[in-house]
Amino acid sequence: MSENREQFGSRLGFILAAAGSAVGIGNLVGFPVNAAKNGGGAFLLIYALCVVLLCLPVMLAELSLGRHTKKDPLGAYTSIAGNSPWRIAGWLSLVTPFMIAVFYSVITIWLLGYVVNAATGNLDQLAAPDTFGNFINSNSIFLYLAAVATIIFLILAGGVQDGIERAAKVLMPLLFVFLIALVIFVLSLDNAWAGVRYYMVPDFSKITGSVINGALSQAFFSLSLGMGILITYGSYMNPKEDLPGATKMVALCDTGVAFAAGLLILPAVFSFNPNVNPEELSDSSVSLIFTFLPKIFLALQGTLGYVGASIVATTFFTLVFFAAITSLVSIIEVPTASLMDARRYSRKKSLLILGITMGLLTIASALSFGKVGFLTELVNYAGASRSLFDIIIDTFYDTILPLNGALVCLFVIYRWRKTNFNDEVEQGNPNYKGTFLERYVNFSVGTFIPVILFLIFINTVAQKYFGVSLIAL
């Protein structure tokens, strides 16, 4: 398979596809809320440091491993380490994207529902207090599930160049245009600048260990690390491509969008209620998108009229929906590539198998918000009952993701070996040899980055499942 493996057609195509993966719900909603609550400019600074010092080296490691082996994550681990225990790391980087895709699909399905309702004149209903709870338990979600599954299938069935790359080339520029238009509009509203001030003025007194941990987790998730995505996308890259250059572009794009999203969400919140205390904003991105923001959009009818307010709301939900679709495409490509590589199945057959298995699990998680009792209260841990949806987030997003990151770092430096890693990066960038960047990447990926990620993993397990905090954060 690797002899005639599919490839991205151009450098821009790869960057847009990888940025499409990175830019998601995490950037557009999670980041602004985190920043607002955790010290504004001070959080932005810490986030930027996490991206540059900790995430960029991991990104480079994942992409190089993929490009060298020309395999999906499981294939990448086994082609270097054979049948050794490293296989477990390979399996983890296959199961993790599969499960993250399940919870992310549920949110994407809801997003599509909100796009359709905002566009068809139902913004007033979306802003009503009980709507979200009723909507997620209504039968219409099955219709939206079918629509999302069809869109993803049509994109992925086209393959790397005609599917993933082409979709990214259409959706990403649209996303940038929608985002910029909304930022400009929101900044023109009354009181908007109070939100900008809150967002950007640093408050270093808010910075604690847990805020730093939060910034790192946010950056790690935002750049799609630990999910096997960059190993898979790396396997479709041209060996002559400049990896550090491409990595920097993707990180810049992702961070730029997250930053711009803050200039959209916080001014909107302040113009809606100038006396708001952002610390009281809910922690959950879900309640912000689906219950708080619709109220803000509806309030715009005072100045824009109902149609104008609906247009703004539709643009916003479409923007988040596009971001979610390009992320889902990248994550579902991971198990798809695995089935194609390991089983030699055709792309369509792999997609059908995944469509059925993932579809069933997505339905089960979508039903775990009260509609089916036992899925809603599936197990109890750390003193609380957890739904299927909660368990998937706790296990795969919060816990396994940093573990996968630590494992890939250790694997690249100590099993695949530093010199091979460096040779791979140098292939597309001969100037990399001997640079400070090369030395920093080798040192950090072999030492403190996996240690930090591993500590986060242990602490999360203790906290989530046993209710104890090992590290005083």
Q: Which residues bind ligand PFF (CB under 6 A)?
A: 21-22, 24-27, 100-101, 104, 221-222, 224, 327-328, 330-331
Q: How far is the CB of 25 from ligand PFF (least distance, A)?
A: 5
Q: How far is the CB of 249 from ligand PFF (least distance, A)?
A: 15
Q: How far apart are CA 96 and CA 162, in angstroms?
A: 26
Give residue for tokens 């086994």.
78
Q: How far apart are CA 117 and CA 104, in angstroms?
A: 20
Q: How far is the CB of 420 from ligand PFF (least distance, A)?
A: 28
Q: How far apart are CA 386 and CA 214, in angstroms?
A: 22
Q: How far is the CB of 216 from ligand PFF (least distance, A)?
A: 14
Query: Which residue, 104 or 322, has its beta carbon nearer to ligand PFF?
Result: 104
Task: Return the CA Rg of the chain.
Answer: 22
Q: Is 88 left (phi over 0), alpha (psi -120 to 50) or beta?
A: alpha
Give residue for tokens 């396994």.
400
CB 207, CB 46: distance < 8 Å: yes
Burial class of residue 426, CB neighbours in 10 A (0-12, 13-18, 19+): middle
Q: How far apart are CA 327 and CA 311, in angstroms?
A: 24
Query: Which residue, 276 or 324, has its beta carbon nearer to ligand PFF?
Result: 324
The three state secondary structure string of 138-189 is: CCHHHHHHHHHHHHHHHHHHCHHHHHHHHHHHHHHHHHHHHHHHHHHHHHCC
Dihedral, CA atoms, 231, 235, 241, 244, nearest 10 degrees? 10
Query: Which residue, 224 or 422, has its beta carbon nearer to ligand PFF?
Result: 224
Segments in 50-119 forming alpha helices (H): 56-69, 73-81, 86-119
Query: Which residue, 21 or 232, has its beta carbon nearer to ligand PFF?
Result: 21
Q: How far is the CB of 332 from ligand PFF (least distance, A)?
A: 7
The token duo for 318 is 């479409």
Q: How many CB atoms lie within 10 A of CB 387?
A: 20
Query: Which residue, 74 or 106, has its beta carbon nearer to ligand PFF?
Result: 106
Strand, coil or helix: what is 383? coil
Candidates 71, 69, 77, 2; CA nearest to 415 is: 77
Query: Which residue, 100 or 351, has its beta carbon nearer to ligand PFF?
Result: 100
- Of all residues in the shown chain, the one whose CB is closest to ligand PFF is 24
Query: Which residue, 86 or 396, has its beta carbon nearer to ligand PFF?
Result: 396
Q: How far is the CB of 254 from ligand PFF (least distance, A)?
A: 7
Q: How far is the CB of 196 from ligand PFF (least distance, A)?
A: 23
Q: How far apart are CA 167 and CA 101, in angstroms?
A: 18
Q: How far is the CB of 381 from ligand PFF (least distance, A)?
A: 24
